[in-house]
Amino acid sequence: MIVLGIETSCDETGVGIVRRAADGTLELLADEVASSVEEHVRFGGVVPEIASRAHLQAMAPTMRRALDTAGLELSAVDAIAVTAGPGLSGALMVGIAAAKAYATGSGKPLYGVNHLAGHVAADTIEHGPLPPRCLALLVSGGHSQLLLVEGLTEKITEIGATIDDAAGEAYDKVARILGLPYPGGPPIDKLARQGNPRAIAFPRGLTGQRDAPFDFSFSGLKTAVARWVEKHEATGAELPLADIAASFQEAVADVLTAKAIRAAREHGIDTMVISGGVAANSRLGELARERCAEAGITLRVPRPRLCTDNGAMIAALGAHVVASGAKPSPATLAADTSLPLVYGS
Ligand code: ATP
Ligand code: MG
Ligand code: FE
């Protein structure tokens, strides 16, 4: 079965194509992404109107490239999947409208799927079907969540989430404080490698005894970095940028991995998936490998390209949804920023 996936929830226009075998393994046939990130750089964050217009311009060419790469015509595809939420409403609307047009034009069934479940599904492209139960740590520009996944198309339960900023958002805001470009993850990650992660003791949010065990908070950490920088600048001394980056990065990786391991232990889970743009972070990966090995947990992290927004992950989730026997979405399919994690639930 061949499924084409369309992703436009934020600033990436993605079209991916996968072939799913009966045993659930996927073959990646195409993964084309056009990003409007350059157009948002000077605003220091994604501007919804600009993202929507960029999707409109990029949709048809990205679709063409994906089909060419796969060496297929749309007629060879069995179904089309599209991100129906969560995300920016205007951006989602462009993808859904395009998907409806392609589906109607080619007579293929259309499935509107959840973007966050798609991030988890991305790993099934790289590492095959998920075990019956696993824990997903989803860390991106807009989300930081711990999901208990008991079947991608059956049961996904959110057991923790950020109460303020997402992990990627914290990276982007701290980068701005340090005068680094947007998006902040990659430059901070690079700088941190030359710094001392123990130079500054930044706070670990929500790790107190009485705090919610699986929720995250990163806004206090961001404020702590801002305060530290202000104080240091007042002395007239040069900012130790690499040490600040390394210490901030250590705080984020420490909290994320500690809570994820604890959640896996409490729920008796032996497989952890980390996905979303922040999963590309080098220190998070390193610390997660270390702590999962100690805890006897199998760690699965898709390659960075599959961690950030892309159409292949939507095609992957779509293929699993089609295989589950679910009905296509109705013709009234619309963007839904609070779309349930499991298709059709
Ligand atoms: P969402 O998926 O929540 O709708 P999004 O589209 O912003 O949001 P992604 O494309 O998955 O999410 O991820 C982008 C985020 O990942 C940005 O905040 C960026 O700073 C962060 N990021 C990318 N690479 C790294 C890295 N190496 N280290 C830390 N953060 C990173
Ligand atoms: Mg993005
Ligand atoms: Fe995303």
Residue of minimum CA distance from atom 3 in ligand 1: 142
pTM score, two decimals?
Answer: 0.95
pLDDT the model gives residue 45: 86
**Per-residue pLDDT tens digits for 171-180:** 999 999 999 9
Q: Determine whether the annotation assigns residue 267 to a binding site.
A: no
Q: Which ligand is nearest to the CA of 301?
A: 1
The reply, when asked if residue 35 is annotated as ligand binding, is: no
* Helical axes 167-177 vs 185-192, angle rounded to 10°: 70
How far, in Å, CA of 104 to CA of 248, rounded? 49
Structure tokens given for 115: 């973007």
pLDDT band at 51 (very low <50, low <70, confident <90, very high): very high
pLDDT above 80 for 211: no
Q: Are 344 and 322 in contact (CB under 8 A)?
A: no
Residue identifier of the C-alpha nearest atom 20 of ligand 1: 185
pLDDT at 44: 84
Q: What is the Cα–Cα distance from 158 to 164, expressed in whole angstroms?
A: 16
Residues 85-134: pLDDT tens digits? 999 999 999 999 999 999 999 999 999 999 999 999 999 999 999 999 99
> Residue 212 has what pLDDT?
86
pLDDT, tens digit, 9 for 90 and up, residues 330-345: 999 999 999 999 999 9
DSSP characters over 80-135: EEEEEESS-HHHHHHHHHHHHHHHHHHT--EEEEEHHHHHHHHHHHHH-SPPSSEE
Q: Which atom of ligand 1 is nearest to the CA of 142?
A: 3
At 221, which helix (H) or strand (E)?
helix 219-234
* Residues whose beta carbon lies within 6 Å of some atom of ligand 1: 9-10, 87, 140-143, 168, 171-172, 183-186, 189, 276-278, 280-281, 308-309
User: What is the Cα–Cα distance from 2 to 132, expressed in whole angstroms?
Assistant: 24
Pocket test residue of 119, 216, 218, 278 for ligand 1, highest count of atoms within 8 A of CB: 278
**ipTM of the assembly?**
0.97
